[in-house]
Structure 1
Amino acid sequence: MIYPVNAADKLGFLEIKELVRQKCLSEPARDLVTKIQPQVNPEQIQKFLHQTAEFKTLLQTDDPLPIDHLYPIRPLVEKARVEGAFLLEEEFHRVLLSLRTVFALIRYFKEREGQYAHLDMLFEHLTIENSIVRSIEQVIDDRGKMKENASRFLLDVSQQIQKSEQEARKRLETVFKTAQNNGWTADGNLTIRDGRLCIPILAENKRKLKGLIHDESATGQTAYIEPEEVFHLNNKVRDLEFARRREIIRILTELTNSLRPHIPLLQSYHGLLTKLDFVRAKALFAIDIEAALPEILKTAEIHLVNARHPLLFLNAKAEGTHTIVPLNIKMDEQDRVILVSGPNAGGKSVCMKTVGLLQLMFQSGLLIPADGNSKMGIFKQIFADIGDDQSIESDLSTYSAHLSKMKHFTQFANARTLVLIDEFGTGTDPQFGGPIAEAVLEVLNTKNVRGVITTHYSNLKVFASDTAGLENASMLFDNAAMKPLYILQIGKPGSSYALEIAQNIGLPKEVVRLAKAKIGEHQQNVESLLVNLERDKKEIVDTKAAILKREKELLVKQQEYEELRDYVDTNRKELIKQAKEEARQILKDANKLVENTIAEIKSAQADKEKTKEIRSTLHQAIDKHSPVKAPVKKVVAKSDAPADQDLQVGDWVRLLDSGNEAQVIEIAKNKNLILALGELRTVVKPAKVEKLQGKEKKKVVKRIGSVSTGDASDFSPELDIRGMRTDDAMNQLELVLDRAVMIGYPSLKIVHGKGDGILRKFVREYLRKYSHISHFEDEHADRGGDGITYAYIK
């Protein structure tokens, strides 16, 4: 599919695979990455791409995957397949940990069944075989060691070993003390020699202690003796240890035999872990390069929108010095081959390599660093001629190597072939290289190939402008600043700017003048025309960018306006709803009050004093629900407020059209005021309000303060109750919650600390009973976890 075989490496595909390989957790997954190759089966490509895209979404938006251990199971399964063989304790432990991970993954995706349709295909209806895990857990503990009670005989032997060791130790210490008291021992304590506990005895006293000499010191002054009284006990311990080892091998063999019928299922589990690790690595790499899933086409077309070379993007991201200029290019039935020209170091080769590398990634199931509305077709062949492939062994010069590739291209290329050629026609005399390149291009065009070709040859630019299926393109160049812009412009050829660059780097003027004279008037005119076209194109691009920027600003303004309008509508509806509810409650209370009053008057049997007292109580209750009668001030309608009033957040104002007082809680970007009118939020223009000052302001603040706990300007939505007594903390919480509800704050941060969890428990219980709380949750684990509670107000 790829010709020559090193073309993928020259495009940078090997480096891409290595970056993906580094994201893998297991060696089998790394082996899969090494084997990645471009595919031609559309269904297979689509499956790989969608799996990677789904895993990327999972990593960015869903709960973390329960991947704790990814030990490769296959080698252990192959060992267990052999009759008579058995897995060791640590090997069973690895199998156990891997199976727990597999089962956790199966449960994870089962809970999200249908949410990740393409990832579900990896499971192939795998079931959780708990019997395997249970059988291993009965024998192997969490440290990877054999359980003492794995069998009755093993438990008995272990207990006998422990008992015999204690008895031997006790007798040995008795002998050691006796030897010390007699002055037979050397300096030091009991020591181990040949796996047996021995007493260090001075060489001249070694005949005084009966026993077996296991070793002596380098100087020969100390002998290490195992006393005769302990020797038989230690032999008994050794025999018991051999018996214990035989029993362990018997149990492991029996456990391996029970595992053998499940070998096919275990291999499937291994395949699942490997594939998930492989797809996860591709998804992590996609996140690093900010990749997306393009639209998959059945036709051999390419339409890249804001594409970036992944390797250059990662380098720029690591350095943080500059951004990558995105590439926009389209190849379809009308414009099959894009002929890119322009100045040296202007980005022609990067443009061509970006197209080739992204096509290889796409057909290998990797997401590409481009916008999601990009479109990619599938090519059965990718031919590339990049760099110098001269070969001394094959007696090939640079140009001969190019011609060998052109021979292959013209013989085997077709409409499903992507051709990538860098510096087309170079390597020989331009007088002959240009015509040969033009002839090759004509043959490739008749075969309906797709491709990107870079060149400096003028005859190729002219041929492309006159031939259907070929399209000129150029890399824009700022001829005023004499620097490339790295922007691909489709439709016109570009100048090489050879003379301008030569003059800019300081080549003598005489040399430049002679060069111009030798080029010829016609060629100079062509180059001048191309330079002028480049300048015009740059102006058009700059103007277009300015227009787009202005359009974005207008969209932002429109969105702000719509948000403010929705805000006002929402608060108006909420106020009406609350007013109706309050009116309903007042009416209900009034009916109840009247009924109670009548009943009390009847019970008082029309006693004048008692009736007067009851009526006074009734009037007080009525006055309680009546509005506060503030001094009436006649409001004169004004068209505009005083021009010099300086309004700030926290100021009190009067609405000119209604006479109501309100407080400024925010000033919008368009200078409109967001006011708090009780629990209502409203937006007005500065000209529609009058700022309250002096005594008038104090009266309003005093009146409003009698029914409010404060305004939004001095309210803090964070409460720290660490170290408080429970009663004090609850009082503080109640005050702040009431105030938050009064001024309409959406949430409250409560810092209670972790400790023994007492304050946290009381806070949660109080919040559950508070009718205005919709829900609450812990802070993120990295920022305090369950030591902080966020309460959200309805």
Structure 2
Amino acid sequence: MNSKVLDTLEFKTITEKLQQYAVTAIAQKQIQQLQPSNDVRLVAANLEETDDGATIYRLQGGIPVATLQDIEPQLKRLRIGAMLNGAELAEISRLLRTTAAIHRFFSDLQAQEVTLTHVYDIAAELTLLPELSQRLRRSVDETGHIQDEASSALKGIRSGIKQLSDQIRSKMDSYTRGSQSKYLSEPVVTIRDDRYVIPVRSEYRGQFGGAIHDQSASGQTVYIEPQSVMELNNRLRQLQMQEAQEVQRILAELSEALVPYLRELGENSTILGHLDLINAKARFAHDMHATRPWISENNEVNLKHARHPLIDPQKVVPNDIYIGKDFQCIVVTGPNTGGKTITLKTLGLLQLMAQSGLFIPAGEESEVGVFSDIFADIGDEQSIEQNLSTFSSHMENIIDILNQVDDHGLVLLDELGAGTDPQEGASLAIAILDHLGQIGSYVVASTHYPELKVYGYERPQTINASMEFDVATLKPTYRLMIGMPGRSNAFDISARLGMPTSIVSSAKQLLNSESQDLNNMISDLENQRKAAETEYLDLRHQLKEARTLHDELEKAYEDFFTERQNQENLAKEKANQIVEKAQKQADKIIADLRQMQLNGQQPVKENQLIEASTQLKNLKQEPTLAKNKVLRREKKRQALKPGDEVKVLSYGTQGTLLEKVGNHQWQVQLGILKMTIDANDLEKVKAPKQQAPQRQFATVASSGSHVSTQLDLRGERYEAAMSRLDQYIDAALLAGYQQVTIVHGKGTGAIRQGVQEYLKKNRRVKKFAYAPASAGGNGATIATLQ
């Protein structure tokens, strides 16, 4: 891909924006070197990687790559036997920790059966070095400071330094707090030349003996190391030198331990940079509302609602841009500042982005080609130093394009043939387009020449297009209309601005007949297009309503059929149970009659037959039980009223009815709690002789007949989720559960954070933690109740 087009279409601005999303030095370097590719398989693979990153960003918020510096300079020094300092070792330690974290992250993703195309294979190339990582973490902290645990000798030395420092400070404090403090400029202990000293007024320098290490700028204060602490300071200094020697030994030892793993460390750094690049592309696409483009096997471009990525999203006008299927050349006409140049740049820049593996700001299922090269002659490139006119500058650029382009190239030409005599410029423009057509290139050219409108009609594989202009408002709409040539609006604009009618009429008469006929034809086409567009939108609306009605009817039919089938099955099951019961009883009656006949050795008496017949008739079930007086009396006796003693079936707990709060719900006093319980969950019991008054403390709502050990809050709004969580914890405590699970999902993290904050503040929650990876990971929280 030629570098000139990257500047012309501002591709570097895109990479600069993308670079802001990278956190590793390797990824930032790769973005600086990012170039479009004309290898179809490589472009497809890069887009699939970005798609993997977008999936991870949607499900997990991105790949958790830490901020990492490029460790290649450290590796080079290790190869020649140099020793690394603490900060350099800390950077390698951070790399190893990040490697382990990324490995765990993708193991969890695979356990969740998240489908990815390439990233699993990339992450699998990471090499884990747990022993080396643990040693570095134990020896060096994040800032590069060597820790006490790096060696037993260092720990012992530092312990001695601390003890000796405490002795010195204690000794020095006797000077700052005792009777001799009056000789000091201020009662403090400080350090000069790595030795503890006190600030003494200059006139009392002989009061303490010892050595003078420094004095103030005015000379009124001298910093004295008293004689009494000189020996302690000497011993402290000796320990400090031992500490420095031990630190150097540890640094050398750790550096030597890294040498066998230089290749693995370098590869890990590169892989993490690659993953960071994928993550950056996904985040960039999300913020830009970009989508994955599909690659056309036939090099056809079909951009739906394409937007220029560098224009304010609130102001940019989306356009459908397509080329390559029915035509390979588009001639765009329209007024100045109408959006022709932006349209050309949008097509070119989105192609560059797609061929670089980036998502593009366009509608879903947009298609792009993979061009061998993209060329653009856009803008005024006049050079005073080279003494070139605007026309000459454009011609040189176009000549360069013609020498390089092939049948798989995309050429964008803005204001083709401008800057010279109109007739000559139009003829030259037509000749250039004919030459590119013979080569087979894909071309989009903007122009003002009316001759090129006729060219768009006559030439094969060529089509006219224009930028729409609203004559009523005298403003461009920036909408691209492919298949519609632009017409001159000079007469209409002049008339609306107040130009005398006589002048406008004279101008129209002076216009040659061919141009007049062309403008009239374009005007008629515009009217036909608007009428067709209105009819199309109306038909789309009707089709949408028809589809909605069809879907609703289809669903209603399915629901009706399913419900009918369920009711039939229930009825059959109930009937079978009744028949089976009646059959058993009938068999018993017949068996009893047979036994009586056998035992008596005589025919069964008439009264016995009548009694058996009566028993068989009694097997018949009444069609309704509502008229049964016994059942009505029992139902009336079981009717609930305030003050009744009831048993809550789901909890196995007895309480007192307070009042009815709905058609099927009662407020029940259960110990110190008030609960709203469904009537089906209540069973009336005999009231005790005496009942102690109950205090009312809290009200907990419960509409179900069973408290599950798991609460699912996914899909809930935040306020509703927190309310349900509060009611659920009360119900779980009342049910005596020791442990419950709250499923909040991952999503944006708002409900997850709300659940964690609530559990932290609830005194009845003993502890809580995320569920194991196999049980939902950080998508669920397990709480232990007191």
TM bracket, shorter-chain basis: 0.7 to 0.9
CA distance in 2, matches of 1:414, 1:204: 93
- What corresponds to 2:540 in structure 1? 548
Q: Does 1:331 pair with 2:324?
A: yes
**Secondary structure of 1:555 counterpart:** helix
Equivalent residues in 2 for 1:498-537 (5 A)?
A: 498-537=490-529
- What corresponds to 2:756 in structure 1? 786
Identity, % of aligned positions: 31
Task: Give how far 1:149 is off.
Answer: 3.1
**Which amino acid in the other structure matches residue 64 of structure 2?**
P
- What corresponds to 2:733 in structure 1? 762
CA distance in 2, matches of 1:449, 1:199: 86
Cα deviations across residues 440-490 of structure 1 (Å, max 9, x unaligned)? 111111111111111221222212211212222233344455444433333
CA distance in 2, matches of 1:236, 1:188: 25
Equivalent residues in 2 for 1:162-181 (5 A)?
A: 162-176=162-176, 179-180=179-180
CA distance in 2, matches of 1:768, 1:338: 69
Equivalent residues in 2 for 1:52-201 (5 A)?
A: 52-62=50-60, 64-83=62-81, 85-113=82-110, 115-123=115-123, 125-141=125-141, 144-176=144-176, 179-180=179-180, 183-201=182-200
CA distance in 2, matches of 1:294, 1:46: 10
CA distance in 2, matches of 1:573, 1:709: 38
Q: Is the 8 A contact 2:714 2:744 kept in 1?
A: no
* Structure 1 residues not aligned, in runs of 5+: 593-621, 632-701, 718-726, 770-774
CA distance in 2, matches of 1:198, 1:746: 65
- What corresponds to 2:456 in structure 1? 464
**Which amino acid in the other structure matches residue 161 of structure 2?**
I
Cα deviations across residues 482-528 of structure 1 (Å, max 9, x unaligned)? 44443333334221322222333444545534432332233222212
Equivalent residues in 2 for 1:269-668 (5 A)?
A: 269-312=268-311, 315-317=312-314, 324-332=317-325, 334-568=326-560, 627-629=625-627
Q: Is the deviation greater in 493-502 or in 561-570?
A: 561-570
Could you say if the C-alpha distance between residues 116 and 464 of structure 1 is closer, same or farther in structure 2, counting changes exceeding 3 Å?
same
Cα deviations across residues 9-28 of structure 1 (Å, max 9, x unaligned)? 23232222222122222333
Length-normalised TM-score, structure 2: 0.74
**Secondary structure of 1:401 counterpart:** helix
Cα deviations across residues 164-211 of structure 1 (Å, max 9, x unaligned)? 222222333345555528x54444333333333223334333223221
Q: Does 1:732 pair with 2:703?
A: no
Cα deviations across residues 308-364 of structure 1 (Å, max 9, x unaligned)? 22223xx124xxxx56333142323x4111112233333322222221111111111
**Secondary structure of 2:206 counterpart:** helix
Q: Is the 8 A contact 1:215 1:225 kept in 2?
A: yes
**Secondary structure of 2:158 counterpart:** helix
CA distance in 2, matches of 1:57, 1:216: 66
CA distance in 2, matches of 1:503, 1:158: 93
**Which amino acid in the other structure matches residue 93 of structure 2?**
L
CA distance in 1, matches of 2:360, 2:309: 8
Paired residue total: 658
CA distance in 2, matches of 1:779, 1:439: 63
Could you say if the C-alpha distance between residues 746 and 284 of structure 1 is closer, same or farther in structure 2, counting changes exceeding 3 Å?
closer
Cα deviations across residues 598-647 of structure 1 (Å, max 9, x unaligned)? xxxxxxxxxxxxxxxxxxxxxxxx9999854499xxxxxxxxxxxxxxxx
- What corresponds to 1:223 in structure 2? 222
Cα deviations across residues 31-89 of structure 1 (Å, max 9, x unaligned)? 21121111111111111111111211221134643334434333333333331x22222
- What corresponds to 2:764 in structure 1? none
**Which amino acid in the other structure matches residue 493 of structure 1?**
P
**Which amino acid in the other structure matches residue 449 of structure 2?**
Y
CA distance in 1, matches of 2:701, 2:255: 61
Task: Give how far 1:377 is off.
Answer: 2.0
Cα deviations across residues 715-749 of structure 1 (Å, max 9, x unaligned)? 999xxxxxxxxx99998354556699xxxx99996
- What corresponds to 2:600 in structure 1? none
* Match for residue 31 of structure 1 among 29, 32, 41: 29
Q: Does 1:777 pair with 2:770?
A: no
Could you say if the C-alpha distance between residues 23 and 515 of structure 1 is closer, same or farther in structure 2, counting changes exceeding 3 Å?
farther
CA distance in 1, matches of 2:464, 2:4: 28
**Which amino acid in the other structure matches residue 99 of structure 2?**
V
Q: Is the 8 A contact 2:6 2:12 kept in 1?
A: yes
CA distance in 1, matches of 2:304, 2:563: 42
- What corresponds to 1:642 in structure 2? none
Q: Is the 8 A contact 1:752 1:788 kept in 2?
A: no
Could you say if the C-alpha distance between residues 561 and 45 of structure 1 is closer, same or farther in structure 2, counting changes exceeding 3 Å?
same
**Secondary structure of 1:453 counterpart:** strand
Could you say if the C-alpha distance between residues 729 and 217 of structure 1 is closer, same or farther in structure 2, counting changes exceeding 3 Å?
same
Cα deviations across residues 355-392 of structure 1 (Å, max 9, x unaligned)? 11111111111122223433222211222111111112
Cα deviations across residues 84-106 of structure 1 (Å, max 9, x unaligned)? x2222233222222221122212
Q: Is the 8 A contact 1:216 1:224 kept in 2?
A: yes
**Which amino acid in the other structure matches residue 327 of structure 1?**
D
CA distance in 1, matches of 2:168, 2:473: 93
CA distance in 1, matches of 2:496, 2:736: 76
* Structure 2 residues not aligned, in runs of 5+: 585-619, 630-659, 669-675, 679-694, 760-778, 781-786
Q: Is the deviation greater in 460-469 or in 446-455?
A: 460-469
**Secondary structure of 2:205 counterpart:** helix
**Secondary structure of 1:475 counterpart:** strand
**Which amino acid in the other structure matches residue 267 of structure 1?**
G
CA distance in 1, matches of 2:322, 2:575: 66
Could you say if the C-alpha distance between residues 753 and 522 of structure 1 is closer, same or farther in structure 2, counting changes exceeding 3 Å?
closer
CA distance in 2, matches of 1:21, 1:118: 22
**Secondary structure of 1:117 counterpart:** coil
Could you say if the C-alpha distance between residues 145 and 580 of structure 1 is closer, same or farther in structure 2, counting changes exceeding 3 Å?
farther
Cα deviations across residues 526-579 of structure 1 (Å, max 9, x unaligned)? 212212211221121122122212222222333333344445555556667778
Q: Is the deviation greater in 394-403 or in 782-791?
A: 782-791
**Secondary structure of 1:138 counterpart:** helix
Q: Is the 8 A contact 2:329 2:462 kept in 1?
A: yes
**Which amino acid in the other structure matches residue 35 of structure 1?**
Q
